[in-house]
Structure 1
């Protein structure tokens, strides 16, 4: 797992994710869901951002289906399942048994051999600081149990 400088930078979460280069699909999903303004806002938020490779693991057609205007509510729910209120570094998260996500569901946290996972998604790049929170790159798109 890469631990990136967790010093807050001047870019907000959306712009930090875009500058990273590994979160292009996540950025598109945030735009389609109409969540850009929220994640550019005051926060702070902790975002478990699936990498582009994680989105590629979704079943064929799933992402295209989520991007349809009529499925915006489902997309928002899915994305909110990847967001926690507050600025939480991976060292703190590793002490938790679960994370209370913004969509209202709890996501299980596991710490195994100093590696943190949330709902089965391994944190692959941790503590990417931004002006209004922190991003942790994960290797899987987590699907909430209820939309």
Structure 2
């Protein structure tokens, strides 16, 4: 099988439905990380997922004084290694994210990640895989 040409960032930029995620990753200084060798599994919230947050949340998160919080939220969406949907179907797992926080992945009835539904899975990239999700993962309080 041929290796995909684009890395995770180039793939989500080309898709066009992840502009908020790209802007947030840029503000957080995570673009170069997501362009690096990996492999990474990214649960990528679409622009619609970000729109589902309370009004003003994204604007608040991208303020320079909230950079650490933004990084923590974005790292909830990244798992080191490459996890494909076939690895999850019928399984329940609690992998550690790139930020060291455990998330709950349930593949017993579709695939959900901390309650967010995977709407498009297995978007292959040269340095991992993207699974588009319908909600933004937030730290548990």
Range into which the TM-score falls when normalised by the shorter chain? over 0.9
RMSD of aligned alpha carbons:
1.5
Deviation beyond 4 Å, 4+ runs, structure 1 = none
Q: Are 2:56 and 1:58 equivalent residues in the alignment?
A: no
Structure showing the higher strand proportion among its residues: 1
Name the CA distance, whole Å, in 1 between partners of 2:79 and 2:68: 18
Larger RCO, structure (CA 8 Å, separation 6 or more): 1
Distance 1:62 1:36 in 2: 21
* Total equivalences in the alignment: 140
Normalising by structure 2, report the TM-score. Answer: 0.94
| Structure 2 alignment gaps of length 5 or more | none
Q: CA deviation at 1:7?
A: 6.2
The verdict on how the C-alpha distance between 1:7 and 1:28 changes in structure 2, with shifts beyond 3 A counting, is farther
Distance of 1:98 and 1:120 partners within structure 2: 13
Offset of 1:112 from its aligned partner? 3.8
> Structure 1 regions of 5+ residues with no counterpart?
1-5
In structure 2, distance between residues paired with 1:7 and 1:80: 28
